[in-house]
Amino acid sequence: MTTDGPEARDTAGGPEAHRTAGGTETPGTAGGPEAHRTADGAQASETEASGSVGETAGARVAAFEAVDLTRSYRLEGVSVDALRGVSLRIDQGEFVAILGPSGSGKSTLMHLLGCLDRPTSGTLRVNGTDVATLDDAGLAELRNQAVGFVFQSFHLLGRTSALENVALPLVYRGVGRSERRERARRALSAVGLAHRLDHRPSQMSGGEQQRVAIARALVGDPKVVLADEPTGNLDSRNGQEVMGILAELNAVRGVAVVLVTHEREVADLARRRIHVRDGLVELDERSGP
């Protein structure tokens, strides 16, 4: 894989507007996974907090709006056109599967949506903010506040407890230690790991590690979770469990879920399937209510 750079950066997140610092929310309800806030409520608070979202609070801003997105990689003078003009809109609360053959550009697209990387050309708005208007610190801030990212290979810190792994993104938001730990504890409870807080990744099963990674993605209370083959390294039972958590997150908390998968049963859980081929969207199909 060639994606270690941006993936590694994601774990650290970035500086963050202090959503809990003022306003109406108390720290206890601001961002825990089981705080049942609506997508719109979260939108309003983030709009106020960041000041960089280009729409008024309460307006229905797309989670992602991409127009003619390209991404080319340069390798020893040779250019690889991983994305060749992708346009799509993903709304708040959607559950989308991204499908396509190996090398078709799925991870490249996910990295752009997750603000881990920038497009070569085209326009990408994340929560209404055009990423081209942001410097690297601004992009990191948007990433930290807007999305949670789950990777196929978990990307946890190996010698750090589950609790501290999950609490880490909150460090970059300036959240104090005791609140970080409390929110991390709640996030881990939400994925069924209240009994594994002090375990290190090497002391956990693959399914447990991926649930820690999901808890880490959730601890900042993002409106979107991006998951790149989250079940790819899991057996079918653990894979089903992880998918159940993501599906519930979408159904109960209204978090938009965008996931890459090669598995038909996983894709069938999504209400929308975007098929990518040779760096282009080949088919965008919807089903269900």
Ligand X SMILES: Nc1ncnc2c1ncn2[C@@H]1O[C@H](COP(=O)(O)OP(=O)(O)OP(=O)(O)O)[C@@H](O)[C@H]1O
- Binding residues (CB under 6 A) for ligand X: these are 2-3, 73, 75, 80, 82, 100, 102-108
Handedness of CA 134, 136, 138, 143 (dihedral sign): positive
Q: Is beta strand 147-150 parallel, antiparallel or unpaired with respect to 129-130?
A: unpaired
108 binds Mg ion (CB under 5 A): no
**What is each CA distance from 83 to 1, 92, 101, 118, 202, in whole angstroms?**
17, 24, 13, 12, 36
The CB-of-200 to Mg ion minimum distance in angstroms stands at: 27
Binding partner of 100, given Mg ion, ligand X, none, CB within 5-8 angstroms per partner class: ligand X
The CB-of-100 to ligand X minimum distance in angstroms stands at: 6
Which CB, 45 or 107, lies closer to Mg ion?
A: 107
Distance CA 266, CA 272 (A): 12
Say if CB 71 and CB 124 are below 8 A apart. no
Residues 6+ apart with CB under 8 A from 246: 214, 225, 227, 230, 257, 259
Distance CA 242, CA 140 (A): 27
Distance CA 53, CA 36 (A): 23
The CB-of-65 to ligand X minimum distance in angstroms stands at: 20
The CB-of-182 to ligand X minimum distance in angstroms stands at: 36
The CB-of-259 to Mg ion minimum distance in angstroms stands at: 12
Distance CA 245, CA 259 (A): 13
Which CB, 103 or 158, lies closer to ligand X?
A: 103
Which CB, 71 or 253, lies closer to ligand X?
A: 71
Binding partner of 108, given ligand X, Mg ion, none, CB within 5-8 angstroms per partner class: ligand X
Distance CA 129, CA 147 (A): 13
The CB-of-94 to ligand X minimum distance in angstroms stands at: 20
Which CB, 82 or 170, lies closer to ligand X?
A: 82
152 binds Mg ion (CB under 5 A): no
Question: How many DSSP H helices and E strands does the chain contain?
Answer: 10, 10
Environment class of 36 (CB within 10 Å of its CB; exposed 0-12, middle 13-18, buried 19+): exposed
Distance CA 198, CA 60 (A): 40
107 binds Mg ion (CB under 5 A): yes
Q: Given the rule CB under 5 A, which of 10-18, 101-109, 264-272, 280-288 is the region that contacts Mg ion?
A: 101-109
Binding partner of 247, given Mg ion, ligand X, none, CB within 5-8 angstroms per partner class: none
Binding partner of 78, given ligand X, Mg ion, none, CB within 5-8 angstroms per partner class: none
The CB-of-106 to Mg ion minimum distance in angstroms stands at: 5
Which CB, 75 or 178, lies closer to ligand X?
A: 75
Which CB, 117 or 221, lies closer to Mg ion?
A: 117
Site for Mg ion in 163-192 (CB under 5 A): none
Contact positions toward Mg ion, by CB under 5 A? 107
